[in-house]
Structure 1
Amino acid sequence: MKRILTIVGARPQFVKAAAVSRSLKQHGIEEILVHTGQHYDANMSEVFFEEMEIPKPAYNLDIHGLNHGAMTGRMLEGIENILLKEQPEALMVFGDTNSTLAGALAASKLHIHVIHVEAGLRSFNRQMPEEINRILTDRISDILFCPTDTAVQNLDNEGFRNFAVQVVQSGDVMLDAALFYAKKAALKSTIIENLGLKEFVLATIHRQENTDDVQKLRQLIEGLNEINRKTPVVLPLHPRTRAILQQNGIELQCRVIDPVGYFDMIRLLQHCQMVVTDSGGVQKEAFFFGKHCITLREQTEWTELVTCGFNTLVGTDKALLMAAFEKAKMNQPDFSINLYGNGHASDIIADTISKA
């Protein structure tokens, strides 16, 4: 394959695309980048393209702020029109967002090969829209790049050996990005100095099942406030979540900052004591930078982090959160274990595509 169309729409996909795009260029593969607009504000989108030197998208569908069905449907229509115009040999999608599923559906219905990067992940929670997206995307993909052995095993368990597909254990492209951009972040980000940070816990909250359920959100904030009384908590917070807190009179005692770019996020991860998050990507990034993660979810698609003791699942239970916090302060796991490859996943992906 020498010409592919890549779909991105959310922050983690910008990070993954940055890593893979460099390798595609080195392998002489023409890439047409399409931004669905799923994350549309400057801090969640434009800053990543600027910082990470990703080529500006050839197309921006500007689709956002809709319910799942409407958003996915409009993306499907928009991507189909681009595919009909550009006629690529394949379409590449990342992860498990609505943009991922829309891109895969549009291509498969036009009999264009689908490449899924970060395939085979399962949280086994069908209540999560991301779980539905990843299951369906895997099933209609032609080349599945798995970040871990567990992901490959998940596909084996679902019978993918019987399908006419190519399954590749590539390693994780987010590790590629973390290693590559950590050096740039050290030179370009001054967030630690600007905020005067020393010892702190880094927290993020963004999942709708947490932010849209006021009872859950109140419990989470009470837990973060209690942690903050022991160790300062730094919380990059999206304006939407901040508005929900204000509307419901939920008081935040943490240090709230605006959403940050990737370089600032790397620096925060490097300097924090531990991470508290409901993000899938941040769970891995915490591991990349040697920090224990407490995850505000009942399940995770990154099960190896829990099994190996790098991640603790607490859901939204304040007592479990506090117990995990106290335990993590005393815990010093060995982060040298290789769970996500050697930092060359993007090269494996580009090489496989070039030979397909």
Structure 2
Amino acid sequence: MPTSDLLTADRIDEIGALGPTSPDPAALVAELVGAVDAGRVADPDDTGYALLVAADILVRAGDLADALTLTTRAIAEQPEDDAHARSMRGGLLLRLGREDEGLAELTALRPLLETDPDATYLIDDLAEAGHTETALEWLTGALDAILERTRTQQHESEDAQDEAAAMIYGLTQRRHDLREEMGLPHDDYDNLADRLRAASDHALGALDDGPATLLFWPRAEFDELLVRWPALAGSYPTTWDEHRAQVERALANAAELGATDLGVVAGSVAGLASFAEQAASDPTDEETLDEYADSLDEVGPVTWPPGRNDACWCGSGAKYKKCCLPRSRD
């Protein structure tokens, strides 16, 4: 089969972006579903994704019943990776008045809020169906459980700690936004959300003057950075996982604001130390960090975003769609 006949991940993304403003959403849905029916999806792993994008277009067009059919099919196509589809299906069941079925579907997925940093889509599906009180209850319960776990399990692996930090960030932000929508006053978790959001402003602020790249520290360098210069603890989050999540979110936000030619440059402790020594400057000073990033930019940044199926920019070795891409939604 000619490559040009295949439905690629990039084309699925393009269709998803066109959906909200397309004058003919039915044609977009037909292209996606037709490719699935004909076995023309370039990467079989994207079959369920294509069906979910088609379902989302139908939801925006008000065709909830047909969207439900496609989400059910997406679950059948890829049952090993169906949580997002099941959540979407649960939300659609709620919106179609099938309350018991919808809540049962979503309740079965509720434990993911305590283990999966990307599972806030459950909250979105509940809230869009008008179940904001339930969504708030689930967010609060998940935060309580994760924070209690971090207090009682002092010897968790570094990866487990990183994952917990990412979940706390995502859950506090989503809860804060939901409470604002509900007109509720600030509480302790809202205050925590504000503090965590302020920390991420450091990364986003680097784009204020127009640079197209952000300074990123690979895992080993990030750990060494905070050990060598503890003063930088106020400028960066406590974990590498949260650091790369902040960079991903900052780039995604910049893209939404119209920024182009975005990328990341990987820093090193030795490189920063050498740069600061030559410049006779303080390596913990923000101006020094910005100038160091500019010097790396001259060498050549890693272009952002990579393709969904390409290696992630953070250097993890995983595909972008399975690694940092979901972090932009937290």
Is this a same-fold pair by TM over 0.5? no
- TM-score normalised to the size of structure 1? 0.27
Q: Which has the higher strand share?
A: 1
Q: Please state which structure has a larger fraction of its residues in helix.
A: 2
Larger Rg: 2
RCO comparison, higher one (Cα < 8 Å, 6+)? 1
